[in-house]
Amino acid sequence: LSAQFIKYGANDFLSKSFLPEEFFCRVMQNMRTMDLIDQLNNAATTDYLTGLKNRHYFYEFGKQLIASAERGQITVTVAMLDLDHFKAVNDTYGHDGGDQVLKSVSACLSSMVRSTDMVVRIGGEEFALLLVNMRPDYLATYFEKLRGAIAGLEIIQRNQPIRITASIGVASAKIQPLAAMVEQADQMLYRA
């Protein structure tokens, strides 16, 4: 019977009669295993430096959002954001300075998205945003505020201010597969 339960997905099996201590030990061991699985899932979908979700999560979760949009339930806007001349920051202030900039920009982006939206670090100095049900007439204003907030960040490294700007490409036309929307946003980013 115990082998049958485990074969069908049980994590553990306890036969009567058992000691209370054995019961509690098995429960605690299973809880620790669940915690470790949660930690692994979080590590696989989270950027270690910024704490933002990562590229993998963006594509997995984004596909679900696009599927909802195709059913007409929501509208989705994809934006790609790149920090301008970031290599110069690393060259001048070292990787510690670059890391500080990335953390500051991440915090700024996180503070400016709604709970229904997503901001992820794609890699390097590139970020992506997925915005849900944002009014088309508000997009330009929103992204200009976002760009201005990044330009206004006060980041101090080696007692000197680091000034950073960002370019943003946005895709908000008719719903397409996520990869196509990212490609369109990337093209607009390149133009910016």
Q: How many residues does the chain have?
A: 192
* Spatial CA neighbour of 12 closest among 29, 59, 53: 29
Give the integer Cα–Cα distance in Å for 74 and 102. 30
pLDDT of residue 97: 92
- The question of whether 60 is a catalytic residue gets the answer no
**Which candidate in 60, 125, 126, 154 is catalytic?**
125
Q: What crossing angle do the helices spanning 20-45 and 55-70 adopt, rounded to 10°?
A: 80
Give the integer Cα–Cα distance in Å for 43 and 32. 16
SS3 at position 155: strand
In tens digits, what is the pLDDT along the chain, a chain of 192 residues? 888 888 898 888 888 888 999 999 999 999 999 999 999 998 899 999 999 999 999 999 888 888 888 887 788 999 999 999 999 999 999 999 999 999 999 999 999 999 989 999 999 999 999 999 998 899 999 999 999 999 999 999 888 899 999 999 999 866 688 899 999 999 999 999
For residues 128 and 60, the answer to whether their CB atoms sit within 8 Å is: no
**Full-prediction pTM beyond 0.95?**
no
For residues 129 and 137, the answer to whether their CB atoms sit within 8 Å is: no
Give the integer Cα–Cα distance in Å for 116 and 37. 25
